[in-house]
């Protein structure tokens, strides 16, 4: 029992390490070669966990071999456009200037109903509102709506919103994010003074954020 537990922990750590090196894509955004490698790693990891008669290296070595293959293919993709197109394919335009390309749909094996479902996933419920729909190599569909159907933005009214920048987490669950404080050129004493305006100390905060507009959000732990 203990040996099984140890083997599972070791293999789990190895698989987690391998998947971490593969990047942070979501499953739906994986390229075909990445998905194939992920499936194979899962199968290889299951073998030594289920069969205690096999040495644990029978699972670990193939996993590292697949990881090397992934890194090699990724490097080739970055260096060669031709190789990238061969390995990952090319994006396909399914709707061009408001007209559905039937040949492209058939070639990619996408039905009209599947196309409508994908569009609804992009919050577009009327196919007549679409100017372009592009099937990406990851399987995702990118959509450009017709000009009169697009959501308005401040630039449409010649309005320049105030710069906000990205929000920095300064406190998470009572822990001070010192690196983020340094990134905005502040220190603990500054943070303490700002948080005290909310009636608490930094260590009592559930979360404290600060953005480029000098806006601070603060909430006390416990929901009070």
Each residue of 153-193: pLDDT tens digit?
777 778 777 776 788 999 999 999 999 999 889 999 999 99
CB 81 within 8 A of CB 103: no
* pLDDT for the residue 40: 80
Q: Give the residue among 153, 102, 150, 105 at the shortest CA–CA distance from 129.
A: 150
Query: Model confidence at 49, in pLDDT bands (50, 70, 90)?
Result: confident
β-strands 130-135, 92-96: how paired?
antiparallel
Write down the pTM of the prediction: 0.59
Q: Please name the helix (run of DSSP H) or strand (run of DSSP E) that holds residue 207, with its range, or none.
A: strand 205-210
Report the relative pairing of strands 130-135 and 99-100 from DSSP bridges: unpaired
Query: What's the distance, Cα to Cα, between the start and end of the chain in Å?
Result: 46
**What's the CA gap between 12 and 8, in Å, rounded?**
6
Pairing of strands 175-176, 168-172: antiparallel
Statement: residue 37 has pLDDT above 60:
yes
Domains and CATH numbers, the chain: 2-86 (no CATH), 92-149 (3.30.240.20), 168-220 (3.30.240.20)
Q: What is the pLDDT of residues 76-126, one digit of tens each?
A: 878 887 887 777 778 899 999 989 999 989 988 888 888 999 899 888 899
67 close to 74: Cβ distance less than 8 angstroms? no
Question: SS3 of 2, please?
Answer: helix
Return d(Cα 28, Cα 139) in angstroms, integer: 7
Please give the average per-residue pLDDT across 123-130, as a whole number: 90
User: With pLDDT > 90 as the criterion, what percentage of the chain qualifies?
Assistant: 29
Q: Is 174 left (phi over 0), alpha (psi -120 to 50) or beta?
A: left
Paired residues of 100 in beta bridges: 95
pLDDT of amino acid 191: 94
């Amino acid at each position: 029992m203990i040996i099984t537990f140890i083997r599972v922990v070791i293999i789990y750590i190895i698989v987690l390490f391998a998947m971490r090196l593969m990047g942070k894509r979501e499953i739906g955004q994986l390229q075909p070669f990445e998905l194939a490698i992920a499936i194979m790693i899962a199968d290889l990891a299951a073998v030594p966990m289920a069969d205690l008669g096999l040495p644990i290296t029978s699972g670990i070595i193939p996993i590292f071999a697949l990881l090397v293959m992934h890194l090699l293919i990724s490097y080739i993709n970055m260096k060669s456009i031709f190789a990238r197109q061969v390995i990952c394919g090319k994006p396909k335009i399914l709707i061009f200037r408001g007209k559905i390309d039937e040949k492209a749909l058939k070639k990619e094996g996408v039905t009209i109903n599947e196309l409508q479902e994908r569009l609804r996933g992009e919050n577009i419920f009327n196919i007549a509102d679409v100017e372009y729909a592009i099937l990406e190599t990851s399987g995702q569909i990118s959509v450009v709506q017709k000009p009169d159907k697009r959501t308005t933005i401040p630039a449409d009214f010649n309005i320049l919103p105030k710069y906000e920048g990205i929000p920095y987490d300064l406190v998470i669950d009572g822990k001070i994010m010192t690196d983020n404080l340094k990134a905005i050129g502040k220190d603990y004493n500054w943070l303490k003074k700002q948080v005290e305006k909310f009636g608490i100390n930094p260590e009592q905060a559930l979360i404290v954020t600060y953005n480029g507009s000098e806006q601070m959000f603060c909430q006390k732990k416990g929901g009070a």
